[in-house]
Amino acid sequence: MEAVVFWFAAALAVAGALGIVLQRNPFYSVLALVVHLIALAVLFLLLRAEFLAAAQVIVYAGAVMVLYVFVVAYVGGLEDPLTEPSPALRALAVVFCVALLAELSVAIAGSGLKALDTHGPELEAGFGSPAQIGELFLTRFLIAFELVSLLLLIAAVAAVVLARREPETSSRPQPDRGLARERQVF
Amino acid sequence: MDIVWYLVLSALIFSIGAVGVLTRRSPLVVLICLELMLNAGNLALVAFARMTGTADGQIFALIVMIVAAAEVVVGLGLIVAMYRNRVPMDVDELSELRG
């Protein structure tokens, strides 16, 4: 049963990943990413990471994807590239990534970790639950927790600064228009 | 399922994401492919957490998720700013840093 769920979710995750890379329209890429993220959440559940799976679905497939869809709808029409890359460069990129995959597989096979071919140890009941994650965050990983909250604040401020309208470009035409209207009046 | 299959799947997703980052032109799709690579790393971290029987790897994965969310916010903010300033939406055209 576990193997069936694993292979189904793995196939879905790989299909979603391929869909992201191969789709011409960025909107379909974002939808493929949603499929991929939900398949990954299933894999997290199989690995006994309940809280992480819930966070994946709520934070990623919920909030971040809404942001992506919004920006794709706002910017739109990105699918036609200005310059077509040379096929040789594209083939080179694919060859490079196949080499990367081979290298990673060799690294996994040659790591010599004895537990790789097992299901992992037997776990107690509360493994990966919100209680355990929260306790670890507030004891062993307290500094990382505080730093990450600071990072989120910085990112929010950066997004506001980046996406706001430039004040001088929006206010510059107005005095001219006002002057022109005054000239018309007089 | 054996842990090794999760790691192989993670390597496969990472490589697919790398293909996307290297071959796609639109900065938006490049961001999505970066997200794919970060998620592959997350899957490996959670698999190792299951292998060792401690939840530390899950904490790392959660922090990676938060960093990825921050990256997405800044990246999408940059894309909106580029669109406003009529900068061409092509990563090969964006080879200069100019304020």
On the question of pLDDT at B1 being above 90, the answer is no
CA distance A146 to A170: 38
All residues at 6 or more sequence positions from B17 whose CB lies less than 8 Å from its CB, including other chains? A17, A21, B33, B34, B35, B36, B37, B40
A67:B63 CB<8 A: no
Q: For all residues of chain B together, what is the average pLDDT?
A: 88
| Domain positions in chain B | 3-84
Report the alpha-carbon angle A16-B68-A164, nearest 5: 110
Q: Smallest CA–CA separation between A177 and chain B, in Å? A: 22
> Smallest Cβ distance to B79: which of A55, A75, A117?
A75
The answer to whether residue B54 neighbours chain A at the CB level (below 8 Å) is no
Nearest C-alpha neighbor of B33 from the set B17, B44, B46, B48? B17
pLDDT band for B26, please (50, 70, 90 cuts).
confident
Per-residue pLDDT, A120: 76
All residues at 6 or more sequence positions from A84 whose CB lies less than 8 Å from its CB, including other chains? none
Are the C-beta atoms of B64 and B43 separated by less than 8 Å?
Answer: no
A158:B77 CB<8 A: yes
Q: Burial code of B58-88, b = ≥16 C-beta within 10 A, e = fewer?
A: bbbbbbebbebbbbbbbbbbbbbbbbeeeee
Query: Per-residue pLDDT averaged across A123-140, rounded?
Result: 87
Query: Per-residue pLDDT averaged across A148-160, rounded?
Result: 92
Residue linked to tokens 């938060």: B66
Q: Tell whether domain B3-84 is in CATH 1.10.287.3510.
A: yes
Model pTM? 0.86
**B31 C-beta neighbours (distance < 10 Å), count:** 22
> Smallest Cβ distance to B46: which of A13, A18, A44?
A44
Check residues A36 and A2 and name the one with the higher pLDDT: A36
Per-residue pLDDT, A62: 86
The architecture (CATH level 2) of A1-79 comes to Up-down Bundle (1.20)
Could you report the per-residue pLDDT of A45-57, keeping only the tens digit for each? 999 899 999 999 9
Could you report the per-residue pLDDT of A73-128, keeping only the tens digit for each? 888 755 555 556 678 888 888 899 999 999 999 998 888 777 777 777 777 778 88
Are the C-beta atoms of A79 and A27 separated by less than 8 Å?
Answer: no
B9:A85 CB<8 A: no
